[in-house]
Amino acid sequence: MIRELRELIAASRTANISAPNSDIQARTYGGEEQRLDQVPQLVEKAKRGDRDAFAELYRLHHARIFRMARLHLGELGDGAEDVVAETFLRAWAALPRYRNTGAPFVAWLFGIARHVVLDEVARGRRVMPSEELPERTGAWTVDDRLTLAQAMDRLPAAQRQVVELKYLAGMRNEEVASALGKSKGAINAMQWRALGMLREILEER
């Protein structure tokens, strides 16, 4: 079995089968891996009131929270940036009560950001999607984002968390598995089931 697997891997390398995400992942994580390793230490310092450590946490997670906010608010203006600011303000206030349960810090931030987004939506900051179907150009339009955000809200919590950590927070499946205390195989399965459900939800619309 192992021999067959090795032969298969060797054959795929010889045939130069493209790994669809290898380049993307390299670009996404290459420069940040070392800094992300420092997150637990930065969190401990920030809990003691260290603003420099909190600033570093902000820089490391800004893009992730911004994308999540933009996905839900469908706005490219200050709305998403306001969500990021409010998320980190609440995080600063709540840090003394933060307990490392093994889940990544970004998952805790996503939890805060979700509440902030709900508050923003309740205040009418969200742009409603248009009735017309957008053109499938490949790029994400505002309507696309809002539709996807609504679809993600209908996912089971565990699957939504996997999608957020993998696609919005930019974590690899191994990292998501480690962070959530599950096997890589389980995360793979949850990822593709979540995508299957998203596809069905999006087709209903």
Q: How far apart are CA 58 and CA 52, in angstroms?
A: 10
Q: How far is the CB of 183 from other proteins (least distance, A)?
A: 12
Distances (CA, A) of 68 to 3, 117, 131: 43, 9, 23
The smaller minimum CB distance to other proteins, of residues 112 and 148, is found at 148
Q: How far is the CB of 201 from other proteins (least distance, A)?
A: 11
Asked whether 87 and 116 are in contact (CB, 8 A), the reply is yes
Q: How far is the CB of 18 from other proteins (least distance, A)?
A: 7
Q: How far apart are CA 149 and CA 132, in angstroms?
A: 17
The smaller minimum CB distance to other proteins, of residues 50 and 178, is found at 50
The smaller minimum CB distance to other proteins, of residues 82 and 178, is found at 82
Asked whether 157 and 200 are in contact (CB, 8 A), the reply is no
Q: How far is the CB of 130 from other proteins (least distance, A)?
A: 19
Asked whether 88 and 105 are in contact (CB, 8 A), the reply is no
| DSSP designation for 102 | S
Interface contacts to other proteins, rule CB under 8 A: 8-9, 12, 15, 17-22, 24, 27-28, 47-49, 51, 54-55, 58-59, 62-63, 66-67, 70-71, 81, 84-85, 88-89, 92-93, 95-99, 138-140, 145, 148, 163, 167-170, 185, 188-189, 192-193, 195-196, 198-199
